[in-house]
A and B are shown apart, each in its own frame.
Chain A
Amino acid sequence: MAKNPFELTWKEIPLGFVQTDYMSCLKNHTGSWRSERPLWDESHCIQCGVCYLFCPEACIVQDEKGYFHANLDYCKGCGVCAQECWTGCISLKPEE
């Protein structure tokens, strides 16, 4: 297994700090930053997709029934989806 990048010595820094580990950003589960999580009230959701369009992390996905959910591995809990939702069906629930 590759060394944890945070344990690299200066001698092990790749030339020019170039990152060749393609899509390595997916390993950063930024969801750990979240203090509130978005919850959809599907009884009011009109499946318009505004939340999906506005999500700055592009972490909102549509399920097979057409409803939307956040991928909590990456959702930082910014609340933009709840702010933009036309019907007000998204609420933010504090993380325990």
Chain B
Amino acid sequence: MAKRKGIESSIALADSVAMCRVDAISAYPITPQTHIVEHLSEWVNDGELDAEFLPVESEHSAMSAACGMSAVGARTFTATSSQGLALMHEILFLTPSLRLPVVMAVANRALAGPISIWNDHSDIMAERDIGWVQIFAENGQECFDLTPLCFKVAEDKRVHLPMILNFDGFIVSHMIEPIEYWTQEQFDHYLPPFEPQIRLDTRAPSVMGAVGVPEIYYEAKMAQHNALLDSKAVVVEALESLEKEIGRKYNIVESYRADDADVVMVLLGSLVETCMTAVDNLREKGLKVGIVRPRLWRPFPKEEFIAALGNIPVLGICDRSFTFGAAHHPVASEIKSALYDSEKRPIICEYMIGIGGRDIRVQEFEQMFMQLLEVKTTGKALPIQYVGVRS
């Protein structure tokens, strides 16, 4: 078995980036992403990591610089969180439209205001539509394992799109966990050197970021949309080769004790592990509950998700961010619309949980499951449940 280290997830993620033989990093520090870029910058400064580290004056510049460095053919990494991701917003659309395979770690955190440094999914859900491949890691080991996956998928000739690795701020980023390190040989075997398909080169001049007049813009966007949809197959392939490399199996849609379940919960991020404990507790009492969750968020694995649901009659969907004024919050909105075309129409109950770092405990998940089991009996869906809010 590979070597296990007791280490903070952020440092493990930074180690993973370094072991991916990253060429260039541009970043601006923001809580709770700070430790990742702090360590990378230290290693570059100390000569331990042979890469360029570009300290910039804002996240808008961090993403702009990342685009530039990727455009000349560098394996490029950045990381951010919350307000930083929001400040990148304008440039985030350019990275995939220019087909630049930048990899970004996002330590998910609430957006102001009120100012909150704590974890929820407001930052990434506001950036659902930017055109990046987006995946969720639930713990430090997954952060370590999925970093090379992100580079492998992003840089694949068939994809050539940027990719975001989401993980919960503090809950994951600052957690010290036993993490199984891959060897450098495993990294090098899994992740071949970056071979850019497009590159700024003075010997062969080209224009990146040209105007798209009405006669051609639509086709350019269509090409981008289909490239993102097609990346799903490459993510599946990369997860399969990851299993061959290190023996851990990840899927684009994950199920936990859902095969014979009466009710399942859908959620993203680290709270899945809390929810698993609730599932185990209730299973001991003979209650048939489980979890089905999309690990890959963009492109949304619609067919795989519907297949994983089987014939489960009742579904609970947990959201960790508001879509103000909308009919449904983001995860529920995505899943409800995916199921509309399906012949399967489970009863769906929506839950809002863990906003701005509000704790959610095993007992609360157990209560939510009990509620879902009751819904199965009554056959009546509930209005959106704002769990734990004082009213």
Contacts and interface: CB of A to CB of B under 8 A. Distances in A.
A18 B208 contact: yes
Interface string B184-228: 000000000000011000001111101010011011101100100
A17 B208 CA distance: 7
Contact of A16 (B198, B205, B216, B226): B198
Contacts of B216: 5-6, 8, 13
A9 B215 CA distance: 11
Nearest to A24: B207
Contacts of A6: 215-216
A10 B206 contact: no
Contacts of B212: 17
Contacts, number: 49
Interface residues of B, number: 22
A43 interface: no
For the complex of A and B, the 6 pairs showing the least CB-CB separation, nearest first, are A16-B99, A10-B222, A19-B207, A6-B215, A13-B223, A10-B219
Contacts of A5: 216
Question: Which size bracket describes the interface of A in this complex?
Answer: 10 to 19
B98 interface: yes
Nearest to B217: A17
- Most chain B CB neighbours (cut-off 10 Å) among A9, A18, A19, A20: A18
A15 interface: yes
B121 interface: no
A8 B213 CA distance: 13
Interface in A27-70: none
A13 B98 CA distance: 12
B210 A17 contact: yes
B160 interface: yes
Contact of A18 (B198, B215, B222, B226): B198
Contacts of B206: 18-20, 22
B133 to A, nearest CB: 15
Contacts of A10: 218-220, 222-223, 226
Contacts of A16: 97-100, 160, 198, 208
A13 B222 CA distance: 9
B207 A18 contact: yes
